[in-house]
Structure 1
């Protein structure tokens, strides 16, 4: 019985560690690539303490790994560096859940071709 209890505790601890380390906004999502342009809109929200929070909204064409165009919309808590390349994590074809800045060399050749033509 003590062995079964130890195994159960070990499994619970392992499950907690996995749940704390997995980023579900990125896990199992498709990737598309975009070159950051000027924000489409800047939204301002005033907090109860009077502080103003800004959200930068971007609406752009991104390209999947095969070079297919995808219209995406995403927001950021700060203005993103224009000309930077992002790998967007998307679900349901164009719903952005997260993003990472990437280097040009990390983008697939088909997506690179489309990004160059879109400039």
Structure 2
């Protein structure tokens, strides 16, 4: 009985861990950008009459070593101009997620060029 309780508890912990892992960030390359103006705003009208906007950004990004790269990504809201973002990128051009960071969170080689 004791082994069954321990096994059930371990299974719950593993399941909880798998549910809370952010798969969009796991194992992705990090790029750093400073947000500028949106390059394109796409508006879609839903059947209910609501208008949904997607903001597209195309801008230069930097790797942790300061190597430049151009990246395009979208956001459901307009991002704060001048904010620093850490982009999570797979296959060198697909942004899967992003986080707003402070200048201190950016590696020195990239921070010097932003």
Do they superpose with TM above 0.5? yes
Tell me the residue number matched to 1:48. Answer: 47
CA RMSD of aligned residues (A): 1.3
Residue-by-residue CA offset, 1:84-110 (whole Å, 9 max, x unaligned)? 110111111221111111111111111
Structure 1, unmatched stretches of 5+, are none
How much does 1:45 deviate? 1.1
* Structure 2 CA distance for aligned equivalents of residues 72 and 12 of structure 1: 40
Look up the SS of the partner of 1:37 in the other structure.
coil
Residue-by-residue CA offset, 1:16-70 (whole Å, 9 max, x unaligned)? 2102211111122111100001111001111121100000000111000000112
Structure 2, unmatched stretches of 5+, are none
How much does 1:8 deviate? 3.1
* Count, aligned residues: 114
Confirm or deny: 8 A CA contact 1:40 1:59 kept in the other structure. Answer: yes
Tell me the residue number matched to 1:94. Answer: 93
Tell me the residue number matched to 1:59. Answer: 58
| Greater than 4 Å deviation, 4+ residue runs | none
TM-score calculated relative to the size of structure 1: 0.88
* Structure 2 CA distance for aligned equivalents of residues 28 and 11 of structure 1: 25
